[in-house]
Amino acid sequence: MAKYVDGFVLPIPKKNIASYLKMAQMGAKVWKKYGALEYIEAVGEDLNPKSMGMKFLTFPRITKAKPDETVVFSFITFKSRKHRDQVNAKVMQDPLMNDPKMKDMPMPFEMKRMAYGGFKAIVEK
């Protein structure tokens, strides 16, 4: 059975990387607790690579990242879409995700600029 992947791409102010890391580590703990297979958060390092003879868009361009921002690429893997839905439902009910202290906590990035989607794996090696 092919795995299922939730993917995220978001621009983030470079000054907020430390607070994002703290939030991501909490997220990893909660998603893995409920059965996510992998939880990966990666911050941009080589965002304007050589073209390798091809023309393509870069992450800073597609996210409209500002000069003081970088891009985070994240993904969580699951056994299937059904498994993803089950895990995410449990995550949303977790006390850590519903802590009143976190209710008014500002996000280290603009939510409206985050891209998210679910993907069925078609090649796994």
Q: How far is CA 46 from CA 7, 49, 50, 59, 83, in A?
A: 19, 6, 9, 10, 33
pLDDT at 1: 64
Q: How far is CA 6 from CA 38, 44, 69, 105, in A?
A: 10, 18, 23, 24
CATH no., domain 4-45+57-120: 3.30.70.100
Q: Does the pTM exceed 0.85?
A: yes
Residues of the chain whose pLDDT is less than 70?
1, 51
Q: Which residues contact 106 (CB under 8 A, 6 or more apart)?
A: none
Q: What are the structural domain ranges in the chain?
A: 4-45+57-120
